[in-house]
Each structure stands twice: as C-alpha cells, then as structure tokens.
Structure 1
Amino acid sequence: MNDPSHPAHDHWVFGYGSLMWNPGFPFAERVEARLIGAHRALCVYSFHHRGTQQQPGLVLGLDLGGSCRGVAYRVAGADWHETHAYLTAREQISGVYRESARRIHLLDGSQREAAAVVYLVDRAHPQYAKGLDLEAQFRLVRAAHGKSGANRDYVLSTVGELKAMGIIDPGLGWIAHKLREGHE
C-alpha cells in the first residue's frame, strides 16, 4: 500500500478536522486524500481542548460509514517516534478515539494509496455525541471554550480549510454561518 518511491519507514497520518489546518508536527509531504468507510462528523463532546466538563464543546470524529476527504501527511521515519507521541497526547486524552491503520487514496493525480494512521470515534465511549441535531450542535459550539481555545474558532477554522479544498459540508457550513452572523 505504501508508495515505493518513499522509504518503507515513512508513515502517513490522515487529518479530517484540526489536523488539516494545525497539524503540529513536521511532515515531508501534504496531500489531499480520501478515506473510504468513515465520514467526518461533529460527534465528540470535548471536555479538554474545546470545552470543559461543565460546558462541553463538540469536535469532529471519524464515524462509521461513507467516506471523508481530508489531508494526508507523510512523516519521515526519523520523525515518527516524536510525531506519534505528539499525536497520542493530542488525540488520546480520554480514549474517545481509536487509533487505527486504514487505507487512504491520495488525491494528487498519482493514484497512490497508503496505509495511514487515523483516529476513529469509539461509539461506545461516553463522549460520543450521538444524534444531536444542528441546533443542539450550534448551541454547544457557540458556548464552549477549552484549553485549545474557543469551540467556535475550531469549527470556523475547519470550515475555512474545507472551503479552501473545495469541500462543502452542509451541516458544518450551517453552523459556521450562524456563528459568523451571531444568531441565537
């Protein structure tokens, strides 16, 4: 699955939310990519990065079914240990995400595929926010703030990156519009 033109010890990471606009680690290559079998969803209560226990926020997760366009980062083997430790500390605070290796399709015209580290939401975890309608999502996002900043900024930054990639997510777009307009 890895591209033979790159050393076998390089690793790929798939980003679908804040990793797209704030990876926080060194990478050798950044390519738009598609993951089949999971979709981007605002489905994780955030008690740390974008909310608190008292005022939870909502962040994105890769939920089962469908597909997701995002960004794949190729990390040089020499940087992998430190990058993986960083990602574990960032993504595995509460165990709501399950780290997995999944096949991704690189969308750079090369028809390459790669095995990438992805973070799938654990539907059995108490932070899984199942079935919230857009109004409920908006209310949570509008009010929450955590150690990494305002939940509002997280959603607006993600929607901005998606727009730059030519991706329209109607639900996130609706929430972003309401956040920008200051609607109640």
Structure 2
Amino acid sequence: MHPVAPLRPLPAHRHPEHLLKLAREAWGGQTDLWVFGYASLIWRPEFESVEHRDARVHGWHRALEMASRINRGTPECPGLVFALVPGGSCRGVVYRIARERVDAELPRLWEREMPNSVYDPRWLMCHTREGPVKALAFTLSRASPNYTGTMEETRLVDTLRNACGRYGTTLAYLLETARCLHSRGIRDRGIERLVALARAHALTD
C-alpha cells in the first residue's frame, strides 16, 4: 500500500499551460485529434467529437489507484478515481475531434483533466476495428504523489463508504464506470471485483 503524499508546488515543466503547449506541438495541427477515454471520459466526455470507436491500448491498464482530493473526495478524506497505469492492456473509447474544433475543445479538456497536472499526457497507439489511431491519453506514473497503489481491503471499503467530493462519491463514480463499460460490452474483471466488494459490504444493491 502506498500512502497518499501531500501535494507540492508544481515545477515550471509541470504547469498545465506548458503541458498543453507540448500537446499542441505534438499534435501539429494538420490532422484531426484523437482522445482515449477509459473512465469518466466515456460517460461524460464534455467535448465535441465527430466520431468515436471502441479501442484497446497495450502497455497500460485501468486502475482505481489515483487519489482524488476535490472531485471524489476531500483533502481530509481523499477519494479514488481511475487512472491509466503501466502494464497490461485497457479497453476504452477513442474520440475524434475535428481539426478545426481542436483549438476550442482541447483547452476545455485540459481544464477538466489537467488543472493540477496530476496526469502525464501521452500519445498512445489505440487499436480499433477500423485500424490503429494515435490518441492523447491521460496516464499516471507510479512515482506520482497521487498514486495510491493497491489498497488493503479495509481501507478501500472505507474509501468507498465515505469519500465524497464536488462531483459526488467515489462509490458512485465506480458504479457509473462499471455500468457504462457493461453497456458497451467492455468487460473489466478488476472493476467487477470492486463492485462485488461493494455489494459484499452492503454499499450497493
């Protein structure tokens, strides 16, 4: 188990504006831009896209191992959200943002996902039925102070029972992600185990 470390001032190279500038440069402005969603970006994308496809990335997996002190918890009672962490593979959804809309949509996406620069933005190869696409994804380093690692069951259940932030509870976030993936035919055994754990402790029906 990894304790949740306190937040520290961001160095210049981690400022959201700097990372957004790097993402724009990597995109180049000549093509449409793809974004990979693996949790709330699937059920609440909040940006305009012209196409979406089911997709799989290799070398990264979805894990409920990122501390959330605002959206799904508080500094006193941190919640958890999903992140892409190294290893394995992950099924999700890729969205195509039209080139002429990127200047409007990318800052909105950045404001949502990167206000504190917790994630490491990466361009990952996403495999779809229609062929591979390179997409922007928000990943989490195991060296991040927000990375919790695998929690012991007692602490995890306590988090699911009590953590609540400005967008609601960690439990509701987990259940909505599970529901959305199931509706798309995407199976995630890790999420199934988490939902079963919540049911075993009478946190949900």
TM-score, normalization: structure 1? 0.87
Matched, 1:124 2:143: yes
**Within 2, Cα distance between the matches of 1:164 and 1:26?**
21
| Equivalent position of 1:59 in the other structure | 81
Query: What secondary structure is seen at the aligned counterpart in 1 of 2:134?
Result: strand
State the distance in 2 between where 1:138 and 1:165 align: 27
| Residue aligning to 2:21 | none
Residue in structure 2 matched with residue 136 of structure 1 by the alignment? 155
Structure 1: any 5+ residue segments left out of the alignment?
A: 1-6
Secondary structure at 1:20 match in 2: helix
The SS at the match of 1:118 is strand
* Alignment RMSD: 1.9
1:183 lines up with 2:205 in the alignment? no
1:161 is aligned, of 168, 180, 185, to 180
- Supply the AA of the counterpart residue of 2:188: D
Equivalent residue letter for 1:153:
A
Q: How many residues align?
A: 175
How far 1:133 moved relative to its partner? 3.4
After superposing on structure 2, the runs of 4+ consecutive aligned residues of structure 1 that deviate more than 4 Å are none
CA distance in 1: counterparts of 2:144 and 2:184, whole angstroms = 31
Runs of at least 5 residues in structure 2 that lack an aligned partner in the other structure: 1-28
| Aligned equivalent of 2:3 | none
Conserved? CA contact 2:59–2:86, under 8 Å: yes
Mapping for residues 109-120 of structure 1, pairs under 5 Å: 109-110=129-130, 112-120=131-139
Please name the residue that 1:32 is paired with.
54
SS of the residue aligned with 2:74? coil
Displacement of 1:18 in angstroms is 0.5
Judge conservation of contact 1:62–1:119 (CA < 8 Å) in 2: yes
The yes-or-no answer on 1:16 pairing with 2:35 is no
Displacement of 1:44: 0.1
Which stretch has the larger CA shift, 154-163 or 123-132?
123-132
CA distance in 2, matches of 1:129, 1:163: 26
Q: Distance in 1 between matches of 2:197 and 2:125?
A: 35
The one-letter code of the counterpart of 2:148 is A
2:49 is equivalent to residue 46 of structure 1: no
Distance 1:150 1:54 in 2: 14
Equivalent of 1:88 in 87, 99, 110: 110
Percentage of identical aligned residues: 35
Deviation digits for residues 9-56 of structure 1 (CA, Å, limit 9, x no counterpart):
210000001001110111100110011110000110001111110111
Q: Which residue of 2 aligns with 1:149?
A: 168
**3-state SS in 2 of match to 1:167:** coil
Structure in which a larger fraction of residues adopt helix: 2
Structure 1 CA distance, aligned partners of 2:150 and 2:176?
Answer: 23
**TM-score for both structures, normalised by structure 2:** 0.79
